[in-house]
Structure 1
Amino acid sequence: MRKRSFFIGAPGADANSFDNLQVIHKPGPILEETHYYPFGLTMAGISSKALGFGAPENKHKFNGIEQNNDFDLNTYEFFYRNYDPQIGRWHSLDTKPVDRISLYAAMANNPVRFTDPLGDTAVYFRPDGSFWKFQDDGKKEFSGVFFQKSTTTSTYEKNGVQYEVHTYSDGVNFQFNDAAVDVQAIKNGEITNIAMATDALVNNEMDKSGVNSADTKKGFSYAKENSTAGGKMDYGMQPNLLKNTFYLREGTAYNVADFGNYLWGRGMAQLEVDLPLATIGAHYNNFVNGRRGRDVTEKYNFGPGTYGSPGLFDSKSDQRAIISGYMNNPKYPMLQQREYDKYKSILYTGH
């Protein structure tokens, strides 16, 4: 809570006196105050009802879900099933079960960490990089896990065929650069794999594009000449980068289009082009080429519900990928200091 400070004084040399001075602060009315135990049961003794104040009762409470007070059951009517906060359990089986967790357990038995019991919000990939399944992990935002280790726990035979049961472990957690597009691409069957975007892979792409050997004094001109469709810096279109694969780097998974943006940002830093100029250049390219269909390619089409018509400027996810790639370049601290010195000079000299 922000603290308020008041100064009352007389800086002059003359004697001063104050009479009947008052400082009054009137807070707004508290409409409702409700305290919960971790699994959602109300702490009745210190909440609005017991304290005798508040507006007409708000029915949407724990997790923003409507509470049902019929017959004093005090249950919550979630989208798929009813929840009882007194026992921290569902009244019916979980239709989206999670391994090793009871079918009646709520919030993965960890309500402090997980708040949303809906949604298929985790995407799991096997150690070989292939897509495994969606999993409801209780989080509101989509995320992913790339398991690194596979262990055969048992075998069984069915119809004369021998099968192995595997357990995956050592998962690498990640987020999606463009979750809405990326998850839909998985559901469309367009993206089926994930791979680590190693330093070797990134450096190889920089070498092939020529940015490591280009004259940095002409960096912007080099980028302008080679960033056109099919150019050396049109990274996403390089044949070794695959449409069906996410590229995982620094905790973020990029589809091939966004990974191309990431590499372009990295390349712009290698050419020592200022970051603001690079991002504005991307907006300009989208305005001139994207909206006219010059950059349209089947490689970036991930099926229904993914990319639609280009907007006026570069998308937030594209800009995010460019900035991440730029900041990943070892030259970034030097470029950041150069930018700071430039603006400091403008600030103090006025030109």
Structure 2
Amino acid sequence: MDYIGNIEYQIYRYFDWDVTFEPAELKYIFRVHNPEGFATNATTTNGPIYSYYRKDHLGNNREVWRASYTWGSTTHPAVTVQRTQYYPSGLPWKYNIGDNPGSQPYKYGGKEFVEMHGLDEYDSDARWYYPAIMRTTTPDPLAEKYYDISPYAWCGNNPVNRIDPDGRDWYFFNKSTGQFDRKEQQEGTHRMVIHSVEKTKEGYEYDSYTFVDFADPVEDAKDIDNGQITQYISVTDKEIQSMLDAKGAFDSGKIGFGWQSQGGKDFDYSYTTLPYKYSQAEFNPTTMKSNALFLPEGDYTAHNYMNFGNYLWGATGYTVGLSYVELQIGAHLNSRFNSKRNNYPAQWDSKDDQRSIILGIYHAQSMNYRKKRK
């Protein structure tokens, strides 16, 4: 296998019978990954075939379900193709549904579980994690900041109250107030941890932590560090539907969607909806910044102000009948060639723009928005 960005390639190498010449190499796209699943058979006439993750409250991939698809003249229904249970350490059970050499490897915390040659470790970005003993096999690159903890410890030796999403950074937000609390300042990929105090059935209180991604981990982290972003706002599905309905998303067609997607029109949600719906976000149209991140219900990715507008736009586009590919390409072309109407410089969509669009599409699909059309 070979990886380039979010694309996974299958590679075959062929040698002459006497191995005297350079091997011939055949490479083809095996999977195209996104935060909520992956596509296979992307380059075939019958593809792509979409598969989606079902995650638990910690962001672990519990199930993989394959959407219905047509292959030749046969239509295959949607089906669960993989189901994974875990030990508390994140080690998958020995016997799980759909686990085989060709099954997808992203499991605990959404990280890749590498089983080749019996390795059985998670590639956790900054470190490799061996869940059988709850220790990393590579030292913490920032171990000098924590002399009282082993450089091979996981979650600071406290996996009940902490998570370690990439082996490095922890950002803490308070669930009850939505306010940013603190950051254990380190270098590397930035993630969020939402803290709340919950109760057991017996009435005992305990700390609960939920792991959340940033749609734009670089810029969003900078805005938290410089004090621009100070809170996150939870957005329910009911609120999302209300915003789309108010702008006519459930009545619009594809042509109307294209027209209303221009800058300042109905489906430019960052300017026509969010300033009035969430005034506490304090949007500045000059800097295009606000003090808030938005976390949609049921998602594990938080979006800044402009990206949440992209999220709603993606949800709207799927609702009117457009596909993932049509919306992603359309967003690129709109940003690049319709800049005068949009009132910003010509540019291709950034990775975080596209990520938010994809997640908005997925939300609309998972909530059956097309069936709510009037």
Which range, TM-score by smaller chain?
Answer: 0.5 to 0.7
CA distance in 2, matches of 1:264, 1:285: 12
CA distance in 1, matches of 2:245, 2:356: 20
Specify whether residues 111 and 104 from structure 1 end up closer, same or farther in structure 2 by C-alpha distance, changes over 3 A only.
closer
TM-score (norm. length: structure 2)? 0.49
1:136-155 residue pairs with structure 2 within 5 A?
140-149=188-197
Q: Secondary structure at the match of 2:293?
A: strand
Task: State the 1:212 CA deviation.
Answer: 1.1
1:146-295 residue pairs with structure 2 within 5 A?
146-149=194-197, 169-214=207-252, 219-237=253-271, 238=273, 239-241=276-278, 242=281, 243-249=290-296, 250-290=299-339, 294-295=342-343
1:135-174 CA distances to partner (integer Å, 9 max, x unpaired)? 26x89522111112279xxxxxxxxxxxxxxx98212211
Specify whether residues 110 and 258 from structure 1 end up closer, same or farther in structure 2 by C-alpha distance, changes over 3 A only.
closer
Q: Structure 1 regions of 5+ residues with no counterpart? A: 7-21, 27-61, 65-75, 81-89, 95-101, 152-166, 297-309, 336-351
CA distance in 2, matches of 1:115, 1:178: 16
CA distance in 1, matches of 2:152, 2:139: 15
Is the Cα contact below 8 Å between 1:247 and 1:255 reproduced in 2?
yes
Indicate the percent of aligned positions where both proteins have the same amino acid.
Answer: 24
The aligned residue for residue 97 of structure 2 is: none
1:9-59 CA distances to partner (integer Å, 9 max, x unpaired)? xxxxxxxxxxxxx87799xxxxxxxxxxxxxxxxxxxxxxxxxxxxxxxxx
Is the Cα contact below 8 Å between 2:179 and 2:232 reproduced in 1?
yes
CA distance in 2, matches of 1:324, 1:331: 10
1:71-150 residue pairs with structure 2 within 5 A?
94=146, 103-109=148-154, 121-127=169-175, 128-135=177-184, 140-149=188-197
CA distance in 1, matches of 2:369, 2:238: 22
Is the Cα contact below 8 Å between 1:259 and 1:321 reproduced in 2?
yes
Compare CA radii of gyration and give the structure with the larger one: 1
Task: State the 1:109 CA deviation.
Answer: 4.6
Task: State the 1:220 CA deviation.
Answer: 2.3
The aligned residue for residue 72 of structure 2 is: none
CA distance in 2, matches of 1:195, 1:262: 14
CA distance in 1, matches of 2:332, 2:179: 34
Task: State the 1:63 CA deviation.
Answer: 6.5
Task: State the 1:104 CA deviation.
Answer: 4.3
Specify whether residues 141 and 168 from structure 1 end up closer, same or farther in structure 2 by C-alpha distance, changes over 3 A only.
farther
Specify whether residues 334 and 235 from structure 1 end up closer, same or farther in structure 2 by C-alpha distance, changes over 3 A only.
closer
Is the Cα contact below 8 Å between 1:126 and 1:146 reproduced in 2?
yes
The aligned residue for residue 322 of structure 1 is: 357
Specify whether residues 192 and 93 from structure 1 end up closer, same or farther in structure 2 by C-alpha distance, changes over 3 A only.
closer
Task: State the 1:211 CA deviation.
Answer: 0.7
Q: Structure 2 regions of 5+ residues with no counterpart? A: 2-9, 22-125, 129-137, 158-162, 200-204, 282-289
More strand per residue: 2
Specify whether residues 143 and 110 from structure 1 end up closer, same or farther in structure 2 by C-alpha distance, changes over 3 A only.
closer
AA of the residue aligned to 2:294: Y
CA distance in 2, matches of 1:327, 1:24: 48
CA distance in 1, matches of 2:367, 2:226: 37
More helix per residue: 1
Is the Cα contact below 8 Å between 1:147 and 1:168 reproduced in 2?
no
Q: Secondary structure at the match of 2:181?
A: strand
CA distance in 2, matches of 1:149, 1:183: 25
Q: Secondary structure at the match of 2:277?
A: coil
Q: Secondary structure at the match of 1:330?
A: helix
CA distance in 1, matches of 2:213, 2:368: 25
Is the Cα contact below 8 Å between 2:191 and 2:213 reproduced in 1?
yes
Is the Cα contact below 8 Å between 2:215 and 2:355 reproduced in 1?
yes
Specify whether residues 116 and 314 from structure 1 end up closer, same or farther in structure 2 by C-alpha distance, changes over 3 A only.
closer
Specify whether residues 186 and 5 from structure 1 end up closer, same or farther in structure 2 by C-alpha distance, changes over 3 A only.
closer
CA distance in 1, matches of 2:324, 2:337: 20
